[in-house]
Chains A and B, each alone.
Chain A
Amino acid sequence: MIKLKINGNTVEVDVDPETPLLWVLRDTIGLTGTKYGCGMSLCGACTVHLNGEPIRSCVTPVSAVGDSAVTTIEGLSKDRSHPVQKAWIELDVPQCGYCQSGQIMSAAALLAKTPKPTDADIDAAMSGNLCRCGTYQRIRAAIHKAADGGASGATKS
């Protein structure tokens, strides 16, 4: 059994330690908000926080998580009240929406460290998250908006 701290809860899972965290979250625990897009850390759809740091769960073996606190999109806020989520709704960012969990987790991690990011900061933090629908202009604007709203962006760890 592997013990995980996920969204503030301790969960025990019986899986092969080499299983990527993504599939433990999705298939074992049932947190399907985190998405599979590439399996190679190329698209960012699987982004979650490990102790507040954005990581690609598709290439992170569950054995590597250890005691670290995992935050998924479901744990970012209870009621879509995180400033990034609010800005995303306000600016109507999503289209198909499939990449947006990952986008939001990357943006939240950025704002936690850099409350007033420049465009260059946003470029650096968000370049690993693909959006096939092309919502990038709105993503950028929404990050600025969340920052203006005084987002701390911090996730519980």
Chain B
Amino acid sequence: MTRNRSGALRPVTSATLSRRAVLRAGGAIAAGGLVLAIGLPGCSRPSGGGAGGGALKTTATNAWLKISTDESITFVCDRSEMGQGVYTALPMLLAEELGVKLERIRVEFAPVGDAYVNKLVGGQITGGSTSVRDAWDKLRIAGAQAREMLVAAACQQWDMPVAGCRVEDGIVISTRGKKLSYGALAEAAAKLPVPAKPKLRPRSEFTLIGRDTRRLDGASKVDGSAVYGIDVKLPEMLYAALAQSPTLGGKVRSVDDAAAKTMAGVKAVVTTGSGIAVVASSWWQARQARDALKIQWDAGPNAELDNATIARGLRQAAAGAGKSARAEGDADAAIAAATNGGGRVIRSDYELPMLAHATLEPQNCTAHVTADGCDLYVPTQIQGVAQAAAATAAGLKPEQVRVHTTLLGGGFGRRLEVDFVPAAVEASKAVGKPVKLLWTREDDMRHDAYRPPAFDQAAAAFDKDGKLTAWKLHLVGPSITARLFPGVVAQAVDPFAIEAAVNFPYDVPNISVDYLRHEIGINVGYWRSVSHALNCFVAESFIDELAYAARKNPGEFRLGLLEKQPRYRRVLESALRTSKFGLVRKGHFQGLALMEGYGTYMAQVVEVSIESGLVKIHRITCTADCGQMVNPLNVHSQIEGSVIFGLSAALWGDINLKGGSVTQGNFDTYRILRLPEVPRIVVDLIDSGEAPGGIGEPATALVAPALCNAIYAATGKRLRSLPLARHRMI
């Protein structure tokens, strides 16, 4: 990132990108700087440039903070900015303790490094709504350590005790009013021991954390200067378009590139592991020539795959037993007792479609392979894996691949995949120049790792007195984690398949939740809120069914089962109040959903009316208790956006396969909400002193169940599958 004359933060330009790459290659770091040393326990030095040591009087590194003699303060951001706001929230944590104004902090993205491992997920990963939760202690401690070292350095110089000194926007001020700037102190501070237990500010003294703060990347996103992966420019760079098998899992049998090779601008046709790449002087030329390739495809194992096959497979698989994720009491016995003892048993099956991520920036990667390494400019959520994929493709060691993370034009889990990386590397290696490989929208839609489809079975029992005695969920679907992180599922039940099911909050004596993995032949991927969105639909639709079966108000029914769950109760009560649940005008109907996900407690109420058999959505109320908020303004934005993301999926989201190929291609066939279609969204935030919860994802998961519950309230029709378009209700 660079700072322009007006002092506003601007993302890296291609010029600084390439300069930095050059500097790194030479083993130096940015000129004129001094890197303050703080070695945090358990943090090894990052590998490869950036925050690493090198020239000048640099002593060592704190992985996240650089203070230069020119008074610039740089935060090395180890999470990817994909709209969720880490570019602002994370430096807020650092600035709060360091004692500088946020605007003074420049942000640059971290290279691959052990120090940058997200402890909540065990990799250098931006996902799982973990960024703030992972950084909460770590960055405040880093800021506080630096502050204490700077103060100590000043006092050493003044020959004064530390007591009574204070800091004010990057200046240490003594009890007698003497002043020294951080820039002037950085070198001396770096030589001091790192305080093991720096004193952190108590919540009551926060000046930045918890305050509405505008995005630091906002300015660059209104003038076109923000640099996404697609915008990377390097000297002599060429452009590539990729022909991939129309059938998922298919392979090239033969290619006739005679016509393509004669087309204007075409430099090379490269056979890669992902398909045929055409490299040209501009992307448009590359794309035109790609479309002129005559390729015979071997359709592979999915030639006959379609939605009906997948749905049938899941239904048939459901007859089997899953791995138990939670078992309390004996749900089967309670169901049998209700059956035989005058109680009631209720059973419902739910079905969910596959979904595409459809980030607005299509997948892309720029690679520059040279004899001794590879520079990779990539919008990624998973730097280490991108590095490894590039290394394999280039025939290099991982440490020879320098990953430069750009801004992401949306992530939503799509960029936890690295399928767009190897072909860029292979193409660059083949032509000996930097190559920017960009997928078309249709490539992106048809070669996603889709949100898993699901077929889930729910059962519950009321005893003869009407008490809810059993709750049983049998979840069936393909596993994302088994492919991406097989170690995680080797012993345990896939933790990313049972979210919002295993933490069932309602007080029922007999609970059984199990998960049966059933693969469908194509890759499935993490999609915003992951299995929360699948299982919240099932659990919150089914509990709603039970409420109506018990002839109770759905709000009161839930509250009656939440005596031991104060945080759930609090958000639910607030949402009922804020949405005027049950008190809306005639002809309007409401449905609700409740969930904990990512440490955030949330309730949503959707208000609808039915006009000519179609659903009209008037208002969505979302109450959230996400613990201590860092930037409430961003929390608000994330909830609004997550609701819209979930609503697009609930209304239209449906990826269909025919003969192993995805039939959707662009936004005409894969609809997402447009501005006039957005209902009023009311965000109700609960001020909570609890530990921070994640906010980038959870609100997505509650929309569909709350909406379908509202539709039931309005029509008596229970929708147990999505999207609404399949039911012709939108």
Residues A97 and B219 in contact, CB atoms below 8 Å apart: no
Chain B residues 196-239 with CB under 8 Å of chain A are 214-215, 217-228, 230-231, 233, 239
Q: Cα distance A137–B563 when bound, in Å?
A: 36
Residues A92 and B215 in contact, CB atoms below 8 Å apart: yes
Q: Beyond A33-B223, A73-B224, A134-B644, is A96–B637 a contact (Cβ under 8 Å)? A: no
Residues of B in contact with A, size category: 35 or more
Residues B360 and A39 in contact, CB atoms below 8 Å apart: no
Which residues of A sit under 8 angstroms from B643, Cβ to Cβ?
134
Which residues of B sit under 8 angstroms from A20, Cβ to Cβ?
284
Q: Beyond A73-B223, A123-B676, is A42–B640 a contact (Cβ under 8 Å)? A: no
Which residues of B sit under 8 angstroms from A124, Cβ to Cβ?
676
Q: Cα distance A6–B673 when bound, in Å?
A: 32
Q: Beyond A36-B230, A38-B666, A42-B666, is A89–B644 a contact (Cβ under 8 Å)? A: no
Residues B441 and A38 in contact, CB atoms below 8 Å apart: yes
**B440 interfacial by beta-carbon distance below 8 Å:** yes
**A53 interfacial by beta-carbon distance below 8 Å:** no
Nearest chain A CB to B641's CB is how many angstroms away? 4
Closest to A23 in B: B284
**A127 interfacial by beta-carbon distance below 8 Å:** yes
Among B82, B219, B222, residue most surrounded by chain A Cβ atoms (within 10 Å): B222
Q: Cα distance A134–B438 when bound, in Å?
A: 24
Residues A130 and B215 in contact, CB atoms below 8 Å apart: no
Closest to A43 in B: B667
Partner of A133, one of B227, B641, B668: B641
Among A36, A72, A104, residue most surrounded by chain B Cβ atoms (within 10 Å): A36
Q: Beyond A32-B230, A127-B676, is A92–B637 a contact (Cβ under 8 Å)? A: yes
Among A40, A72, A92, A132, residue most surrounded by chain B Cβ atoms (within 10 Å): A132
Residue-by-residue, is A79-105 near B (CB-CB < 8 Å gives 1, otherwise 0)?
A: 110000100111011111111110010
Interface residue SS majority, chain A? loop
Q: Which of B131-139, B303-311, B407-415 contacts A (4 or more CB under 8 A)?
A: B407-415
Q: Cα distance A117–B440 when bound, in Å?
A: 35
Residues B409 and A27 in contact, CB atoms below 8 Å apart: no
Residues B672 and A132 in contact, CB atoms below 8 Å apart: yes
Q: Cα distance A129–B674 when bound, in Å?
A: 7
Residues A97 and B221 in contact, CB atoms below 8 Å apart: yes
Among A27, A99, A140, residue most surrounded by chain B Cβ atoms (within 10 Å): A27
Closest to B699 in A: A134
Nearest chain B CB to A71's CB is how many angstroms away? 11
Q: Beyond A39-B440, A97-B221, A137-B678, is A27–B284 a contact (Cβ under 8 Å)? A: yes
Residue-by-residue, is A36-77 near B (CB-CB < 8 Å gives 1, otherwise 0)?
A: 111110110100000000000000000000000000111011
Among A26, A73, A74, A129, residue most surrounded by chain B Cβ atoms (within 10 Å): A26
Q: Beyond A23-B284, A95-B84, is A100–B676 a contact (Cβ under 8 Å)? A: no
**A138 interfacial by beta-carbon distance below 8 Å:** yes
**A135 interfacial by beta-carbon distance below 8 Å:** yes
Residues B675 and A136 in contact, CB atoms below 8 Å apart: yes
Residue-by-residue, is B223-262 near A (CB-CB < 8 Å gives 1, otherwise 0)?
A: 1111110110100000100000000000000000000000
Given A39-B440, A92-B214, A96-B360, 9 other A-B residues pairs in contact with their CB atoms under 8 A: A27-B284, A30-B233, A74-B224, A85-B222, A89-B218, A94-B218, A96-B410, A98-B228, A138-B640
A-B contact list, 9 entries, CB within 8 Å: A15-B282, A16-B264, A33-B223, A35-B360, A73-B223, A95-B85, A95-B641, A104-B222, A123-B675
> What is B's interface to A at a CB cutoff of 8 Å?
6, 8, 81-85, 214-215, 217-228, 230-231, 233, 239, 264, 282-285, 358-362, 407-412, 438, 440-441, 633-634, 637-638, 640-645, 666-668, 672-676, 678, 681
> What is A's interface to B at a CB cutoff of 8 Å?
15-16, 19-20, 23, 26-28, 30-40, 42-43, 45, 72-74, 76-77, 79-80, 85, 88-90, 92-101, 104, 122-124, 126-140
